[in-house]
């Protein structure tokens, strides 16, 4: 019997490895940026076109590579970061597996330009699907330029699985921010489709955070610092009043490497216990420095998860450090045993009576009198007692109306309509139906009787359906009304959030929003939809931005649908809200006036029907 196991060709093996390393354009961005950081660069430039599908180029001024290294870097398991297995437990660099460049070259057109400082000429390589097509000597600046074009050109199935440009670019920005936050001493620039999105000069940690997330971020930050034998902690946490519904601005860095850790996140949430509203998440930028031999990085393909030797101690230290910082900067209440001695009252004052202040009044002062007589009278009787004021009795008010008797011909007869009921506006069946009432159960469900039994409505889902169809109609027909604000609202956002709002500006204005200004770091809202309260605007736009960042479809109709769904979910009446009888009746009528009243915008049932027969069966037991 012949053998059935065989070795895969290199190009097939590289494509399979690429499925683990390169999941989307953001994966390429992460690998190339980390290589530039490891090369000792002080300036890194990222150029992206069409959310990375057409071009991803990283240019740095690092050490560069020799001719041999330039070819070797595309081989599988070729790396300059480690030599022995023991090196995995003393890592001080980013990439170390040696699979990234080989995987990228297997599924894209790659152009590499590199030169070392001591060399006069550099190397120019072109690779298409793991095949070297050209190698030339060229005059190049010091450093490396790595261009990845036409990603997944030979794997169309993977390319079809990519999301919209907005979503893919959001992932690229996430990777860019993570690397930029971890290395504040390096200058970063990001261009997308020819437009400069970020220009981050070399700075300190706090300034780097402010440059990325906007100028108003500075007032949110509370510094955290702790040094122990196990870990050295530094960074910032955000004040509780700036907590958001989504988990956007939350970053953990271990030895300047971004990680995700639910365990450490729980430690942060424990430090904020009692300070946050329900469902809110605090922002934080925590930098942990631990000995390399106490962590294991190589447990996840993307290296975003780390195994710690002593997680329990790390948890306790992180929680206490954040709690201490919140108390130190008067964010959280603390016990203060120090008192100001100046506020103490001497014991000798215990039985002492309070001194009543003497008040002198000039009772002859008249502001309406002539100036000279007033002064004379005031001088003659300065601070002398005067008789009490007397109010003259007014004349009888009846005398004001004498001689105004009405003429006889001006008095008209007033005929009153008979109150006798001659008929009914409704027939008996309609009157019987009108006396039916709706009832609210547990501030969650509305029960309304119908001919065949009763209908039980979920008030939250029903209101979502009502608002969804209203917003969808307003956006498409452009006739929404607005309420103008006396004092316009100024809301601050970072660059990516502002770009998203600009993209959705027309659709938002069709729902009733009025935007007076769109500036570099904030917007000015001067008008709101009729059913949106001023206090809800910030929360509504934050949730809308979060929803759109997670999934923005390509077509304009789908974008409109996403906006209508997000706004309906944010503004719908919540479970636990008490509704009046009129509100219940209005909701029932509005629900059954919808085009699809039986499901919410998220395809969940809005009501169920219980027939009289079903009730009879239950009682027949």
446 is written with which tokens? 């509305």
Residue-level pLDDT at 383 = 47
Give tens-digit pLDDT for 446-465. 998 888 888 999 999 999 99
Q: Please give the C-alpha separations between residue 309 and each of 89, 297, 306, in angstroms, as whole numbers.
A: 12, 12, 10
DSSP SS3 for 602:
coil
Contact between 181 and 285 (Cβ < 8 Å): yes
Residue-level pLDDT at 270 = 92
Which residue has 């709706």 as its token pair? 438
Q: How far apart are CA 278 and CA 400, in angstroms?
A: 68
Q: Please give the C-alpha separations between residue 90 and each of 45, 78, 291, 292, 311, in angstroms, as whole numbers.
A: 29, 18, 8, 5, 19
Residue-level pLDDT at 432 = 46
Residue-level pLDDT at 427 = 46
Residue-level pLDDT at 396 = 60
Give tens-digit pLDDT for 291-313. 888 877 765 555 677 778 888 99
In 10 A of CB 383, how many CB atoms? 10
Residue-level pLDDT at 3 = 72
Give tens-digit pLDDT for 192-236. 999 888 899 999 999 999 999 887 888 889 999 999 988 999 999
Q: Please give the C-alpha separations between residue 161 and each of 55, 129, 138, 165, 260, in angstroms, as whole numbers.
A: 18, 20, 38, 12, 25
Nearest to 329 by CA among 217, 223, 210, 244: 223
458 is written with which tokens? 């979920």
Give tens-digit pLDDT for 493-518. 877 788 888 888 888 888 888 898 88
Residues, the chain, total?
A: 621
Residues in the chain with pLDDT values less than 70: 1-2, 10-20, 77-98, 298-303, 330-345, 370-436, 478-479, 549-558, 621
- Phi, psi of 37, deg, nearest 5: -65, -45
Handedness of CA 564, 570, 576, 578 (dihedral sign): negative
**pTM, whole model, 2 decimals?**
0.69
Q: Sort strands 250-254 and 284-289 into parallel, antiparallel or unpaired.
A: parallel
Residue-level pLDDT at 112 = 93
Domains in the chain, CATH or no CATH each = 10-200 (3.30.565.10), 205-328 (3.30.230.10), 439-608 (3.30.1370.100)
């Amino acid at each position: 019997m012949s053998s059935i196991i065989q070795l895969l060709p290199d190009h097939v093996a590289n494509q399979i490895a690429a499925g683990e390393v390169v999941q989307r354009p953001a994966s390429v961005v992460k690998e190339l940026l980390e290589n530039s950081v490891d090369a000792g660069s002080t300036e890194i430039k990222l150029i992206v076109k069409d959310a990375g599908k057409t071009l991803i180029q990283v240019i740095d001024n690092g050490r560069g590579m020799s001719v041999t290294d330039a070819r070797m870097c595309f081989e599988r398991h070729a790396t300059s970061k480690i030599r022995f297995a023991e090196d995995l437990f003393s890592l001080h660099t980013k990439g170390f597996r040696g699979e990234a460049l080989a995987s990228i070259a297997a599924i894209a057109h790659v152009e590499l330009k590199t030169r070392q400082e001591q060399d006069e000429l550099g190397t120019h390589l072109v690779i298409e699907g793991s095949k070297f097509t050209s190698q030339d000597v060229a005059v190049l600046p010091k450093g490396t330029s790595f261009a990845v074009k036409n990603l997944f050109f030979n794997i169309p199935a993977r390319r079809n699985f990519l999301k919209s440009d907005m979503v893919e670019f959001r992932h690229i920005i996430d990777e860019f921010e993570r690397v930029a936050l971890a290395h504040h001493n390096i200058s970063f620039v990001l261009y997308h489709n020819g437009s400069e999105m970020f220009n981050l000069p070399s700075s300190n940690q706090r300034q780097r955070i402010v440059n990325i997330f906007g100028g108003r971020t500075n007032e949110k930050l509370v510094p955290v610092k702790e040094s122990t034998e196990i870990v050295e902690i530094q960074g910032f946490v955000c004040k509780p009043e700036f907590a958001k519904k989504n988990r956007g601005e939350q970053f953990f860095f271990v030895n300047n490497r971004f990680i995700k850790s639910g365990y450490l996140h729980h430690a942060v949430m424990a430090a904020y216990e009692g300070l946050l509203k329900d469902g809110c998440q605090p922002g934080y930028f925590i930098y942990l420095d631990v000995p390399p031999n106490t962590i294991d990085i190589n447990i996840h393909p993307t290296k975003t998860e780390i195994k710690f030797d002593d997680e329990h101690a790390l948890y306790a230290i992180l929680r206490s450090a954040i709690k201490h910082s919140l108390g130190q900067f008067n964010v959280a209440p603390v016990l203060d045993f120090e008192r100001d001695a100046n506020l103490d009252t001497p014991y000798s004052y215990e039985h002492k009576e309070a001194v009543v202040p003497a008040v002198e009044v000039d009772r002859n002062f008249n502001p309406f009198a002539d100036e000279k007589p007033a002064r004379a009278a005031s001088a003659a009787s300065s601070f002398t007692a005067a008789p009490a004021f007397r109010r003259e009795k007014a004349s009888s008010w009846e005398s004001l109306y004498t001689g105004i008797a009405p003429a006889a011909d001006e008095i008209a007869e007033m005929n009153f309509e008979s109150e006798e009921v001659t008929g009914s506006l409704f027939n008996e069946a309609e009157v019987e139906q009108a006396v039916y009432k709706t009832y609210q159960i547990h501030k969650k469900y509305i029960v309304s009787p119908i001919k065949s039994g009763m209908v039980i409505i979920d008030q939250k889902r029903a209101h979502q359906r009502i608002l969804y169809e209203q917003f969808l109609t307003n956006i498409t027909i452009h006739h929404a009304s607005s309420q103008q604000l006396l004092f316009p609202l100024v809301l601050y956002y970072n660059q990516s959030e502002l770009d998203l709002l600009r993209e959705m500006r027309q659709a938002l204005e069709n729902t009733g929003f009025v935007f007076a200004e769109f500036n570099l770091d904030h917007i000015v809202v001067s008008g709101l939809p009729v059913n949106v309260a001023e206090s809800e605007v910030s929360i509504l736009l934050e949730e809308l931005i979060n929803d759109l960042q997670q999934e923005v479809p390509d077509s304009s109709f789908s974008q409109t649908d996403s906006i209508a769904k997000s706004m309906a979910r944010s503004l719908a009446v919540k479970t636990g809200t008490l509704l009046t009888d009129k509100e219940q009746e209005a909701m029932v009528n509005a629900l059954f006036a919808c085009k699809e009243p039986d499901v919410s915008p998220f395809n969940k049932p809005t009501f169920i029907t219980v027939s009289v027969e079903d009730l009879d069966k239950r009682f027949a037991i």
